[in-house]
Homo-oligomer: A and B are copies of this chain.
Amino acid sequence: MLVNGKQGNLISIRDRGLLYGDGVFRTLRALHGKAQHWPLHYQKLQQDCAALGIPCPDFALLSAELNGLLLQYPDGVVKLIVTRGQGTRGYAPPARVDPTHIWDITPLPDYPAHWGIRGIKVRLCQFRLSQQPRLAGIKHLNRLENVLAAAEWNNTDPNGADVVEGLLMDPEGNVIEGTRSNIFLVSRGKLITPDLSRCGVAGVQRDRVTAWAAQHNMELQVRDVGLDEVLHADELFVVNSIIGMWPIRELDQQYWSEFPIAAKIRHELNGQDA
């Protein structure tokens, strides 16, 4: 655990990350001493910092700190937070920003391997995401919407026992994302993923699938997607940097059992992780 380059697990109660959620973050998987797709994550971090006007710490500096941590913790979930730091009281960003950056590593979750092959059960969240074009796509620290959505079910409750992810819609009924993942549809040989210009978080794995599609000349549409289209897709899958990819085998009383295209993409994406 590092806070501004120093060993520690504490930050000031006056940090704007706590006061306002005024910051951004990344979540990466470390395996055998390597943080997967770190340059892609840095690129996103930089974009997200720029969108909020937070100076992004230097790539070389962050890489050096990360490599030091990986020597000690070669496997785990790596979290990197960058906040606007401290400042004078009030919402307005201070004239001179001295950002805070934080590294934390926790053990890798022990997900069943068959979730990646036979798929997962997903529920439809009742909670609807709000539309905020100025914050859409950004992995910022204002995540109460995800918290409220994830609070809708739990694995000790009979109805939630085998539910692994929840799907979120916006107020207009567009399907946007999972509570912690991006979603893709396979439909008549095309890939479709929701437009995230009004809400949602655009993750690194979403970009990787997009890049894969381009490399393999597979059409990929980024656009509004209604629930009906999702329920009638040939295949569905969710992605994020910790889980990789999970196909969806059950959603809202619809069932899927074959995932030929998802399996192919998953195989190749995982291959590049090595």
Contact B81 A147 (CB under 8 A): no
Bound state CA distance, A188 and B6, in angstroms? 61
A3 touches which of B13, B131, B140, B156 (Cβ 8 Å): B13
Q: Using an 8 Å CB-CB cutoff, how does the interface string of A110-141 with B read, 1 for contact, 0 for none?
A: 00000000000000000100111011000011
- Residues in chain B near residue A202, CB distance under 8 A: none
Are A131 and B20 within 8 A (Cβ)?
Answer: no
Which of A88-96, A247-255, A262-270 is near enough to bind chain B?
A88-96
What is the interface of chain A, defined by CB distance below 8 A to chain B? 1, 3, 9-22, 25, 52-53, 77, 81, 83-84, 89-93, 95, 102, 104, 106, 109, 127, 130-132, 134-135, 140-151, 154, 156, 171, 179-180
Taking CB as reference atom, which chain B residue is nearest A23? B18
B14:A17 contact, CB within 8 angstroms: no
From B3, B16, B150, A92 is in contact (CB under 8 Å) with B150
A21 CB contacts on chain B under 8 angstroms: 20-21, 141-144
Known: A91-B179, A130-B130, A151-B93. A143 touches B10 (CB 8 A): no
Which residue in chain B gives the minimum CB-CB distance to A104? B13
Contact B150 A90 (CB under 8 A): yes
